[in-house]
């Protein structure tokens, strides 16, 4: 029991110290950091959507080519 309490105390104090150090060494304010992270998230999300749309077009073109090739082979 003593060891578990010591471990929990160490985790809590380490978390508190880490949080304090991060706040003091942060190059931006909390609002600016959140806005920056939100912007990065939005850009990554948009890039993912664009990549998915491009891949969809490629796959649809491949499907159309395969379907037309299959239909041509079936007509012979």
**Burial letters for 25-48: b for 16+ Cβ neighbours within 10 Å, e otherwise?**
eeeeeeeeeeeeeeeeeeeeeeee
Each domain of the chain, given as residue ranges in start order, spans: 2-75
Q: Residue 7 CA to chain centroid, in angstroms?
A: 32
The answer to whether the predicted template modeling score (pTM) of the entire model surpasses 0.85 is no
pLDDT digits (tens, 9 = 90+) for 8-65: 889 989 999 988 888 778 787 778 878 988 999 999 999 999 999 999 999 999 999 9
């Amino acid at each position: 029991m003593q060891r578990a309490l010591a471990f929990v105390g160490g985790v809590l104090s380490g978390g508190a110290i880490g949080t304090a150090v991060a706040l003091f060494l942060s190059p931006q304010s909390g609002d600016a950091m959140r806005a920056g992270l939100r912007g990065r998230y939005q850009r990554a999300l948009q890039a993912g959507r664009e990549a998915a749309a491009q891949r969809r077009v490629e796959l649809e073109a491949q499907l159309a080519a395969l379907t037309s090739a299959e239909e041509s082979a079936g007509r012979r």
